[in-house]
């Protein structure tokens, strides 16, 4: 029955399915708590920033024209008419031949169009100022709308909020903002050999590593992990837990043994669920070939390999982009978030398959080197030792020692 489905989907075509899945809803959040969240609405500037012309240096606010031609040997002489208080508009306008003392951040008085740096002037007495250097109009000043002009779109919905975006929204007076909710991702482990991590495994048993690693992946990917523990390798039990998880979460990950039997069982469960469709059954990647992607209602349902390194690589390289999409993230994969490094040994691959090779990054005399870490994908230590993944394209037969490769970091 399942054989006919097993036409593997190349990895780039898997991503074509991303847009088929619904985004999560949004919520209102205090701006101070928004770091790392995804903006749900475009942000338009209600006001210009900084909102008034400001000094960028300590010195004297002047009309630039009054300083033209000034030099060490032939200073300009100006009348000091007062001091600009921080946080207040100047009391008196600055006329030609006049100056007002001003600190960095102070508001330029009416009439002034430049600031002479304190180093380029000398105060002779209470009211007399010598200026040794001419300034152009606009010198040492930011204009009222130089940071942001009112009405402009300043942030796009779907962008991730970093500290600087928090600052911008604070500057615009936004105390709360609309962000996408964090998607809840259900995690199910299946396999008769699994025991809870608090138990002592009997011979032939192993602890349920995948629930923990995948929960970490989900957290790191901006989601909330909801774990459903270990489910026995039986249709009724698995279907029951999957149905519950699909109703309680926004996406479900099952990681099961990578044996043919478990794969068939996952397929059977999917086929038994209402409104369910298998989109990918097998992806020509290594590790991770037996990956299954189905759509149940509007939700993605993943059958991940049981081998821990396979499950984590598939999450990092494929599932994370889907989590990003349903999280509202318009740019769920930063293309440049990978570094070039010199390969330290030959790596074999085969055409028609995309390989992800775990690698350690070494630095030597300012260059980065990628040292492949080889080993079966059931070994967790290979991932613990890894700083990132080297991708070998499906049209490439392998990579040679000394070549420059791109390493995407495993954070």
Site for a second copy, residues 26 to 45, rule: CB under 8 A: 31-32, 34-36
Q: Decide: is 100 part of the binding site for a second copy (CB under 8 A).
A: no
**Applying CB under 8 A, does 151 fall inside the site for a second copy?**
no
Residue among 17, 207, 226, 244 that touches a second copy (CB under 8 A):
207
**Interface segment toward a second copy; rule CB under 8 A; list 128-136, 160-168, 247-255, 293-301:** 160-168
Question: What does the alpha-carbon distance between residue 292 and residue 237 come to, in Å, rounded to a whole number?
Answer: 19
Give the start-end residues of each E strand in 20-65. Answer: 26-30, 43-44, 54-55, 59-62
| Three-point CA angle 338, 9, 209, nearest 5° | 60
Nearest distance, CB of residue 138 and a second copy, angstroms:
11
The three-class DSSP label of residue 122 is strand
**Which of these ranges, 21-29, 80-88, 120-128, 271-279, lies near a second copy under the rule CB under 8 A?**
80-88
In this complex, which beta carbon is closest to a second copy, that of residue 198 or of residue 274? 198
CB 94 within 8 A of CB 100: yes
CB atoms within 10 A of CB 368: 15
Q: Which of 79, 130, 193, 271 binds a second copy (CB under 8 A)?
A: 193
Interface mask (CB under 8 A) for a second copy, residues 328-347, using x and -? Answer: -------xxxxxx-------
**DSSP H or E segment with residue 194:** strand 194-195
* Chain CA centroid to CA 370, Å: 24
Distance of closest approach, residue 274 Cβ to a second copy, in angstroms: 30
Of 210, 241, 329, 408, which one interacts with a second copy (CB under 8 A)?
A: 210
Q: d(Cα 373, Cα 129) in Å, to the nearest integer?
A: 70
CB 345, CB 390: distance < 8 Å: no
**Torsion angles phi and psi, residue 141, rounded to 5:** -140, 140
Member of 48, 52, 278, 396 binding a second copy (CB under 8 A): 52
Q: Which position among 115, 116, 129, 166 is part of the footprint of a second copy (CB under 8 A)?
A: 166
- Of residues 115, 267, 312, 399, which one binds a second copy by CB under 8 A? 312
Q: Rule CB under 8 A: say whether 352 interacts with a second copy.
A: no
């Amino acid at each position: 029955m399942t054989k006919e489905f097993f036409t593997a989907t190349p990895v780039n075509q898997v991503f074509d399915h991303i847009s088929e899945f619904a985004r999560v809803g949004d919520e209102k959040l205090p701006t101070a708590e928004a770091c790392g969240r995804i903006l749900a609405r475009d942000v338009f500037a209600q006001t210009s920033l900084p909102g008034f012309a400001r000094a960028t240096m300590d010195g004297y606010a002047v009309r630039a024209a009054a300083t033209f031609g000034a030099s060490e040997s032939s200073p300009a002489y100006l009348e000091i008419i007062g001091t600009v208080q921080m946080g207040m508009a100047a009391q008196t306008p600055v006329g030609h031949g006049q100056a007002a003392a001003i600190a960095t951040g102070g508001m330029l008085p009416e009439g002034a169009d430049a600031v002479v740096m304190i180093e380029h002037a000398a105060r002779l007495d209470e009211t007399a100022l010598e200026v040794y250097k001419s300034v152009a109009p606009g010198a040492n000043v930011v204009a009222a709308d130089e940071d942001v002009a009112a009405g402009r779109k300043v942030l796009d919905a779907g962008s991730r909020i970093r500290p600087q975006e928090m600052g911008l929204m604070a500057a615009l007076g936004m105390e709360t903002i609309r962000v996408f909710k964090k998607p809840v991702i259900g995690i199910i482990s299946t396999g008769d050999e699994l025991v809870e991590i608090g138990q002592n495994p009997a011979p032939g048993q192993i602890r349920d590593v995948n629930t923990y690693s995948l929960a970490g992946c989900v957290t790191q990917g901006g989601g909330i992990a909801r774990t459903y523990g270990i489910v026995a390798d039986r249709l009724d039990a698995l279907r029951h837990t999957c149905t519950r998880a699909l109703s309680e979460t926004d996406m479900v990950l099952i990681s099961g043994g990578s044996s043919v039997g478990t794969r068939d069982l996952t397929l059977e469960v999917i086929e038994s669920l209402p409104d369910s469709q298998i989109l990918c059954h097998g992806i020509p990647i290594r590790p991770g070939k037996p990956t299954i992607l189905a759509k149940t209602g509007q939700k993605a349902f993943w059958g991940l390999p049981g081998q821990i390194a396979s499950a984590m690589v598939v999450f990092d390289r494929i599932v994370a982009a889907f989590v990003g999409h349903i999280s509202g993230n318009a740019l769920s994969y930063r293309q440049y978030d990978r570094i070039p490094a010199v390969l330290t040994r030959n790596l074999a691959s085969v055409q028609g398959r995309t390989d992800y090779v775990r690698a350690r990054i070494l630095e030597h005399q300012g260059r980065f080197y990628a040292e492949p870490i080889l080993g079966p994908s059931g070994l967790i230590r290979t991932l613990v030792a890894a700083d990132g993944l080297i991708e070998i394209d499906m049209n490439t037969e392998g990579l040679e020692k000394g070549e420059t490769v791109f390493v995407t970091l495993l954070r």
